[in-house]
């Protein structure tokens, strides 16, 4: 065995490209599940992350929804945080300096009231030099407006275009699973200038306390995340990967490396670990290490070799009638 | 420093109170860092639960490196804890909790602990910590429960000079009634400053905090809200503050100033 | 206590009305999870069911999809059966006679290739007198055409109208959760003549075998059912209950009586037990008994008292901006 | 009749083969009804698994009302089974299986059982059933495994007159090679009719069925497909038949005629 072969076997190349960013490995964090990085400093080494995606940052501070904000459900959880955050100026002043100490691309998640609002925050973050990429959160199910944009290709394009005009940073459109057909929406985001697409945000759901006969969440509904939604997320990532050419950041129920590999095989260039961090705060590292182990065990030298590598299924096109037969 | 680790279980002792247990485990790093009011987030292999569950640090013994939690069996996680045996591995993250009980340092202050149910463990830890720093500290512990057999966790406190005030809803032991029934006497003694530290069911803490305010005595409350992550990242543990904002129960608390909290 | 009060406490009135049918209790079965009734005869007493909803019956026999057809997922399962069945004549000849021996309304689930196909099967079942209600399966994610109808109000209306013309039986439209907004679709079904609405059918999802790097299901994708989808189903039932006046049959992840009560509180008049039957074949009985126990414990005398009785949440209308505040 | 019940565990014995066990439980109604090839669907409290798992009936003793399954530890359900202790309750539905092994009734027939892995238990049950009906039945049991230590479940068969043919892939015991290596000798004896009953990994059964066809000997195969419900209602257990249709493995099988199955 040559020295090069030994090295390759020992350490597969995990790096991937998302827009202008080179990630040292394909593992990033789900916005809203990793705070602003500092909270987990004792447990997670930001220098070992592919990128960090921070909690949503809005133009003005938001107090969020009243409690209860989170309930557990079978295999998952519902959240209705309501985008509580200190606003963009607070982010720039209080949160960004910590993150900038690390060699880790920062993705800032940006919701907005309308295209102008999205663009204003994007512009401010760009000018201040406190983000390496902007993830447009056009898909938050827990606040007004949030959801509407990602349910319509035209509205999606409006938000993306508005932001594209004001930033050269890598622009990521975060899509919603709560739609009839995600493909035209993904296409619209790409055509409007998104450098990448992330999905999925949470699915709308609810839970009722039968003793008190009221909704468990003060907000009524919340967003479902966690292992329960993984099959749905995986299918949407596959669909979108068949539709767009820009890279995809896949997420939804990734708890371990094996889940992450499923997303990569389905066509995601990177993955985000969300709810898993609550259960296992070091999941981000375990997922990255596990992907490396999978590659080594299966004779791959680069993570890029498995992206979209799932063998195409014999999925019949929906317009061809099924064969029928009298039995 | 917060760590994630598998702690070997040393002992799992049932208490006299039905369904209550103390689980002792080896965790020197936790023992070194944990302060009264902090907690650990436990993951038990329940299958049905996705999230960890918080349990207050009850004891932390630097001599042995052993820590413990005191719990009662409610649901899947506490059931799984009840079934653990010495040598099993306890999956935990901790110590968690950003703002902890802060002992009043005024000379001669009367420390009044008011606990109920699983509010007792952190207060016991606090009492022992105060005693270790000042063996002459004046301490009163008001412990409330439904009835006699549910009064737990205060063993050994009298030995370190704590005066116990037991209260039961049914009068089966001590004062017949709520903890707020004995507080006026303690707070009425104006000869020295007093300070209340309380942890327990929210209605109890609200009553205690309101009484403290009426007597103009400082009161620290440890809020028991559902804590999905315990790490400050999920924003799920909102505590409504009088300034209209929501604090995170886990890292902005769990201990708050009683006057800071909007009680529902 | 009077004798009447004792009786009321002992046995609350569980009966509900779905179109022309009176169900002795609100518990029916999810189509495709209960076969044609006879398979479970050892374990389940059809005379104790609210109604039985049988496996999909198509105009011609269908061989179904190749295996693997089912995979387990966290808190749920994916199925891609492909509507395997012997066809409507086979149903009339082989299956209906057994079901007719019981005092239990029969709901026949009918998929179709186009409105004419739906109507042809509906007419045949009506003429043959082998069904008490027809559930139009316009939402099966596992075959061509199936899904399309329930994703569009106009197409939904076309199918329902075509069938309404050929039958006086209770007509139920089964809706899909894989849509952006279910409300106009539910409304269209009602306006076109549906006597009731059932929901949800399964959510589209997939699963990948990372060792073999191919989809686990031969069909590529499947329909997600089981506890994992309960929060999504419950929210859709609530939304639709706020939108239509016809009764709703709610389903999706109901494993026990407590789950069923959540659906009733959300606005379902009846519920269907699906995946739960695989795990616990007597779930249908346990759910009905448990609903009765819940009513008794909470002082209700009729199940109708809790239908839609969840206290309305403080769900902010999606068009009103959130309060924001500088913190 | 299919029943759902909680059967008290009587014993849970490890076998010599690593990871293999026999779990014995009290289930008189099951014992009365179960026939060789039938199985029970087990629900273990694994949390991660939603569906039951099928396990063949290994023994069914009418004298004691005890039945057993023989299993190896694969995943969550078998792990949970391995941890069961006497007195625990086994949650099962059964007996399941619509078409079972049907003993060939031709006089003097040679019954040839070909098993591998967890295909052995139903064949042992079948051999005992045939022996009980005809103590002079001529029976050969071909048992294959990776290596010696994985040959399990055939204890006691020789006592009832079964001739054992052990095969190991690594030659550590008996014939060095696959079960199909010893079959030609057995099938070559044209002096009496022969009948094959096989259960085990699909590639093994395919090879056996093809060899049976070549020798024109009837062959019953018990298909091991994933069985989500086991009751015939989910259609998830499709077995591809030569007529182009899909049968349900659970109620149209698990036993099929070897010539009826389309092998992948
Ligand atoms: C900071 C802190 C410290 C704690 N310390 C201790 C301790 O030292 N000892 C101790 O015994 N307990 C302690 N608790 C409480 C403990 O964490 C909970 O009781 C925990 O839920 C037990 O888990 P379980 O799986 O056993 O029960 P669960 O299944 O979680 O149920 C426990 C109870 O909580 C209710 N519940 C569950 N989920 C929700 C929800 N989303 N919203 C509202 N109610 C819900 C259930 O109905 C039930 O009554 C502490 C809690 C906090 C926040
Ligand atoms: C009729 C019948 C009789 C059986 N009798 C016995 C018996 O007597 N003894 C015995 O030990 N076993 C028997 N089995 C096999 C047993 O049911 C399975 O191995 C079962 O999956 C074990 O459950 P588990 O939770 O331990 O492992 P699982 O987690 O279910 O995993 C077991 C194996 O199956 C694979 N697997 C899991 N799900 C799927 C899927 N959807 N598709 C493909 N592969 C999958 C896993 O990768 C793993 O290798 C029988 C199976 C059938 C169909
Ligand atoms: C508590 C919580 C808060 C979240 N907040 C945000 C947010 O602010 N912005 C956003 O785009 N997504 C947010 N999400 C969605 C996640 O980023 C992710 O898309 C989703 O949870 C699915 O991934 P998971 O199943 O791994 O958690 C949040 C999710 C959770 C659980
Ligand atoms: C194996 C399987 C087969 C199904 N077949 C049908 C069907 O033929 N027609 C139909 O309308 N729904 C079918 N469904 C959907 C169920 O009726 C039900 O809508 C769905 O599973 C959600 O309920 P549950 O989570 O309780 O299973 C099927 C579901 C499963 C799991
Ligand atoms: S529990 Fe997650 S932020 Fe407090
Ligand atoms: S396992 Fe469900 S039909 Fe056979």
Question: pLDDT tens digits for C257-293?
Answer: 999 999 999 999 999 999 999 999 999 999 999 999 9
Q: What pLDDT shows up at residue A41?
A: 92
B140 lines ligand 1 (CB under 6 A): no
Q: What pLDDT shows up at residue A2?
A: 44
Residue C144 scores a pLDDT above 80? no
Read off the pLDDT band of A200 (50, 70, 90). very high
Q: What pLDDT shows up at residue B48?
A: 74
* Alpha helical stretches, state H, B74-141: 76-82, 120-133
Q: What pLDDT shows up at residue A313?
A: 66
Query: Which of D144, D209, D149 has the alpha carbon at shortest distance from D182?
Result: D144
The ipTM (two decimal places) reads 0.94
Q: Which of C109-113, C316-320, D117-121 has the lowest mean pLDDT?
A: C316-320
Q: What pLDDT shows up at residue D46?
A: 73
C218 lines ligand 2 (CB under 6 A): no
Supply D92's token pair.
């099962």
Query: Which of C39, C42, C170, C25 has the alpha carbon at shortest distance from C103?
Result: C25
Residue C190 scores a pLDDT above 80? yes
Q: Which residues of chain D have pLDDT under 70?
A: none
Query: Which of A254, A276, A270, A284 has the alpha carbon at shortest distance from A26?
Result: A270
Q: What pLDDT shows up at residue C209?
A: 97
Q: Report yes or no: C63 at the D interface, CB cutoff 8 Å.
A: yes
Ligand nearest the Cα of residue C205 is 4
The helix (run of H) or strand (run of E) holding residue A90 is helix A88-90
What's the whole-number average pLDDT of chain A? 92
Residue C20 scores a pLDDT above 90? yes
Residue A281 scores a pLDDT above 60? yes
Q: Which of B176-180, C297-301, D49-53 has the highest mean pLDDT?
A: C297-301
More confident residue, B98 or D224: B98
- Cα of A13 vs centre of ligand 2, distance in Å, is 36
Residue C145 scores a pLDDT above 80? no
Pocket test for ligand 2, best of C68, C70, C210, C211 (most atoms within 8 A of CB): C68
**Cβ-Cβ contacts under 8 Å for B149 (sequence gap 6 or more):** B16, B17, B18, B172
Identify all chain D residues contacting C77, using CB atoms and an 8 Å cutoff: 50-51, 228
Q: What pLDDT shows up at residue B45?
A: 78
The mean pLDDT value for A93-102 works out to 96
- Cα of C200 vs centre of ligand 4, distance in Å, is 9
The helix (run of H) or strand (run of E) holding residue C126 is helix C115-128
For ligand 3, atom 6, the nearest C-alpha belongs to: A32
Q: What pLDDT shows up at residue C1?
A: 41
Residue B134 scores a pLDDT above 50? yes
B65 lines ligand 1 (CB under 6 A): no
The mean pLDDT value for B27-51 works out to 92
Residue A323 scores a pLDDT above 80? no
Q: What pLDDT shows up at residue B188?
A: 87
Residue A315 scores a pLDDT above 80? no
pLDDT digits (tens, 9 = 90+) for B205-259: 999 999 999 999 999 999 989 999 999 999 999 999 999 999 999 999 999 999 9
In angstroms, what CA-CA distances link C241 with A117, A210, A221, C294, C307? 35, 18, 15, 22, 10
Probe site for chain B from C74, C226, C279, C327 (most B CB atoms < 10 A): C327
Q: d(Cα D233, Cα D251) in Å, to the nearest integer?
A: 9
Answer yes or no: do C63 and D244 touch at CB < 8 A: yes
Residue C327 scores a pLDDT above 50? no
What's the whole-number average pLDDT of chain C? 92
> Domain-by-domain residue ranges, chain A?
3-306
The mean pLDDT value for A64-88 works out to 95
pLDDT digits (tens, 9 = 90+) for C196-237: 999 999 999 999 999 999 999 999 999 999 999 999 999 999
Residue B203 scores a pLDDT above 90? yes
C254 lines ligand 4 (CB under 6 A): yes
Identify all chain A residues contacting D244, using CB atoms and an 8 Å cutoff: 325
- Its CATH architecture, for the domain A3-306, is Alpha-Beta Barrel (3.20)
Q: What pLDDT shows up at residue A10?
A: 67
| Residue whose structure tokens are 């699909």 | D202
Q: Which chains have 3+ CB pairs within 8 A of B? A: A, C, D
The mean pLDDT value for A23-47 works out to 96
Q: What pLDDT shows up at residue D152?
A: 86
Its pTM stands at: 0.94
For ligand 3, atom 22, the nearest C-alpha belongs to: A252
Ligand 4 atom with the smallest distance to the CA of C70 is 1
Residue C137 scores a pLDDT above 80? yes
Pocket test for ligand 1, best of B75, B115, B231 (most atoms within 8 A of CB): B75
The mean pLDDT value for A65-73 works out to 95
List the domains of chain B with CATH numbers: 3-96 (2.40.30.10), 110-217 (3.40.50.80)
In angstroms, what CA-CA distances link A141 with A62, A252, B201, C190? 16, 15, 32, 27
Residue B103 scores a pLDDT above 50? yes
Q: What pLDDT shows up at residue D219?
A: 97
Q: Report yes or no: A90 at the B interface, CB cutoff 8 Å.
A: no
The mean pLDDT value for B99-127 works out to 94
Identify all chain B residues contacting C325, using CB atoms and an 8 Å cutoff: 244-245
More confident residue, C228 or B118: C228
Read off the pLDDT band of A143 (50, 70, 90). low
D254 lines ligand 2 (CB under 6 A): yes
Tell me whether the omega of the peptide bond preceding residue A68 falls within 30 degrees of 0, making it cis: yes
């Amino acid at each position: 065995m040559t020295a090069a072969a030994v090295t390759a076997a020992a350490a597969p190349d995990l790096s991937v490209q998302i827009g202008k960013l080179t990630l040292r490995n394909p593992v990033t964090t789900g916005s809203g599940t990793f705070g602003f990085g500092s909270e987990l400093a004792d447990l997670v080494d930001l220098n070992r992350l592919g990128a960090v995606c921070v909690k949503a940052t809005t133009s003005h501070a938001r107090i969020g929804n009243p409690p209860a904000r989170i309930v557990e459900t079978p295999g998952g959880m519902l959240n209705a945080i309501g985008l509580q955050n200190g606003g963009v100026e607070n982010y720039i002043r209080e949160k960004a300096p910590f993150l900038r100490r690390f060699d880790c691309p920062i993705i800032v998640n940006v919701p907005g009231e309308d295209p102008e609002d999205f663009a204003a925050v994007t512009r401010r973050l760009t000018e201040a030099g406190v983000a390496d990429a902007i993830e447009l959160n056009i898909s938050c199910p827990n606040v007004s407006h949030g959801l509407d944009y990602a349910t319509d290709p035209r509205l999606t394009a409006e938000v993306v275009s508005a932001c594209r005009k004001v930033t050269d940073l890598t622009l990521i459109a975060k899509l919603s699973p709560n739609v009839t057909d995600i493909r035209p929406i993904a296409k619209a985001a790409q055509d409007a200038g998104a450098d990448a697409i992330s999905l999925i945000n949470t699915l709308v759901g609810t839970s009722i306390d039968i003793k008190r006969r009221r909704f468990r969440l003060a907000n009524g509904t919340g967003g479902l995340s966690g292992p329960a939604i993984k099959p749905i997320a995986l299918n949407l990532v596959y669909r979108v990967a068949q539709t767009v050419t820009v890279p995809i950041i896949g997420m939804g129920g990734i708890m371990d490396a094996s889940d992450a590999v499923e997303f990569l095989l389905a066509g995601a260039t990177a993955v985000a670990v969300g709810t898993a961090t609550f259960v296992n705060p070091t999941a981000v590292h375990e997922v990255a290490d596990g992907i490396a182990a999978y590659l080594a065990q299966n004779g791959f030298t680069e993570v890029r070799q498995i992206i979209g590598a799932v063998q195409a299924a014999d999925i019949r096109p929906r317009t061809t009638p099924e064969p029928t037969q009298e039995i | 420093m917060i760590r994630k680790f598998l702690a070997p279980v040393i002992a799992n002792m049932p208490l006299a109170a039905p369904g209550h247990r103390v689980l002792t485990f080896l965790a020197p790093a936790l023992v070194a860092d944990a302060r009264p009011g902090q907690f650990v987030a436990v993951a038990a292999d329940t299958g049905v639960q996705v999230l960890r569950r918080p349990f207050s640090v009850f004891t932390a013994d630097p001599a042995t490196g052993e820590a413990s939690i005191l719990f009662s069996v409610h649901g899947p996680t506490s059931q799984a804890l009840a079934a653990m045996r010495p040598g099993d591995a306890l999956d935990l993250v901790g110590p968690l909790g950003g703002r902890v009980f802060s002992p009043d340092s005024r000379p001669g202050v009367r420390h009044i602990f008011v606990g109920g149910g699983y509010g007792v463990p952190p207060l016991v830890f606090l009492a022992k910590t105060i005693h270790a720093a000042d063996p002459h500290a004046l301490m009163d512990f008001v412990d409330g429960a439904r009835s006699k057999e549910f009064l737990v966790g205060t063993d050994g406190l009298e030995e370190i000079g704590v005066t116990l005030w037991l209260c039961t809803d049914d009068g089966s032991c001590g004062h017949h009634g709520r903890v707020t029934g004995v507080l006026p006497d303690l707070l009425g003694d104006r000869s020295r400053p007093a300070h209340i530290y309380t942890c327990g069911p929210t209605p109890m803490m609200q009553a205690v905090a309101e009484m403290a305010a009426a007597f103009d005595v400082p009161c620290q409350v440890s809020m028991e809200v559902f804590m999905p992550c315990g790490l400050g990242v999920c924003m799920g543990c909102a505590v409504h503050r009088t300034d209209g904002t929501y604090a995170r129960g886990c890292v902005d608390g769990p201990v708050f100033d009683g006057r800071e909290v909007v009680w529902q």
